[in-house]
Amino acid sequence: MAGVIAAGGPATAAAGAAMLQMGGNAVDAAVAAAFVSFIAEIGVVHWGGSGIAHLYDPRAQRSLVYDFFSNTPGLGATPPAHLDFAKVVVDFGATTQDFYLGRAAVAVPGNIFGLCQLAADYGRFPLPTLLEPARQLAHDGVLIEPFQANTCDLLSPLYTHTADIRAIFAPNGRVIQPGERLFIPHLADTLAALAAEGVGLLRHGRLAQTLVADQQQNGGLLSATDLAHYEVQKADSIRIPYRDYEILLPPPSSTGGVLTAFSLKLLSHFDMAHFPHHSARHLQLLYEVMMATNRARPYWETWSESLPVETAIGQFLAEGFVRPYTRQIETALQIGQPSSPATEPDGPNHTSHLSVIDADGLAVSLTTTAGESAGYVVPGTGFIPNNMMGEEDLHPYGFHSRPPGVRLPTMMAPAIVLQDGMTRLVVGSGGSIRIRSAILQTLSNVLDYHLPLAEAVNRARVHLENGVLQCEAGYDETAVFILATALHYPVNRWPNRSIYFGGAHSVARTADGRLEAAGDNRRGGATARV
């Protein structure tokens, strides 16, 4: 077998599989698949966004994180007198949420920089080969999958915000429907230019010039200096032992990686044989681990701002700091009452993830986002920018309060699990702060409960939000009833499965060396094997 890929849609998975079939490695597959995802998964990601890639090479025993998340814009520029920054309201049924769009919502886009750098460093194929599946899809248009169409409909206030974006997402006066063909004018030509010019197209070429000119003319903050000086950051993984495994997680700008590591260190103190899967005891333990992590998070926020990053990570994950939280969990389990509550801010909701392992064991875990998009298209390019500067929870001290050139934090946490130096599991997720809970439960399902990968990914999940344990449909009703009534834990029972609980598309190598893949059916997951 040449490799496996799990991704957020069949076209994305097929693009990665095509690279593996042609003799490419996991990096070639991930890069080609990611560029296709920006078209085929357009309900949740765009190539005007940013991301994090995590790779592990078992031959060199080396892991590396490529951080190409967004920077705040405005280097070398004078802010305009009037910012193009508008609020829209999205109705999620049970609640509504405000989003902010426009040119002043655009942060420095990192996807093109990061994916091109990753391909240049570790891929086998030239950039034109890797971009060809996306260019062809842009030329022909994409038949919209049901999950993507439903997401576009949910976000219709964003995707009908301006005339140019309405022409893509609502060309017939209504939001595009499943099975209809979506076409983005000019995108195929821009992809062809990227294949010919490489990252220079966005660094200083025609795309950069058009993007910046549009910003300057229409109340944006992004400058030519922002694009010229943007750097892909390369960092070593956070490595933590867990049972018989080693788990690799990304460091900052990933807040999610550090917090997931903290949760895993808490969970490692408990013998899961005493917590039968999906029992009331299991639910209670998950609640307490998630709540303890929320209580610890303010320390991380303080230390990450005031200390060197390696010092902050070491201090936050030190056993002396973790142990008191472990005792709090033990106490709550013994007395059968929930521990003291703590809340945490939300973050960008619309992300996508893909995981790849090739025949040599090279693994890539890649998560990307565009926030929810800025609600417009850069003229003549097909380029839809992000709205990361309009994500309220990324800016706790107010919009546009951070100085230009600062890397924004992210909850993305693409993870890789090793066993005896070999890739065992590759996992990540989309879904804002639910990214952490999705990854934590998928890891535990595989490593603690030894569930088959597809079952581990698609079993019902829980998430702690505002002190209430959100229980997805599929949990044993008796276990949930005991937790809520006998143990007095606040619980919200969901009547169905939902994208709310993330999309943990995963690949794995089994104990006997077989490669397997599982797409998360909450988010249109698809797999391919070569």
Residues with catalytic annotation?
351
CA 266 to chain centre: 23
- Structure tokens that stand for 73 in this block: 């814009």
Query: What residues does 91 pair with on adjacent strands?
Result: 96
DSSP annotation string for 19-77: HHHTT--HHHHHHHHHHHHHHHTTTT--TBSEEEEEEEETTTTEEEEEEEPPBPP-TT-
**Ramachandran bin of 421, using left for φ above 0, alpha for ψ from -120 to 50, beta for the remaining angles:** left
The half-sphere exposure of 473 on its side-chain side, counting CA atoms within 13 A, is 7
Other Cβ atoms within 10 Å of 26 Cβ, number: 34
- Of 148, 507, 523, 227, the closest CA to residue 361 belongs to 507
Task: Report the candidate in 282, 178, 233 with the shortest Cα–Cα distance to residue 67.
Answer: 233
Q: Residue 469 contacts by C-beta under 8 Å, 6 or more apart in sequence?
A: 283, 286, 287, 462, 463, 483, 489, 490, 491, 492
| Residue listed under structure tokens 């420095």 | 108
DSSP letters spanning 401-438: -SPTTPBPPB----EEEEETTEEEEEE---STTHHHHH
Radius of gyration of the chain (CA): 22
Kindly state the tokens that stand for 53: 């890639």
DSSP bridge pairs for 355:
6, 365
Helices (H) and strands (E) in the chain, counts: 18, 20
**Separation CA 401–CA 38 (nearest Å):** 29
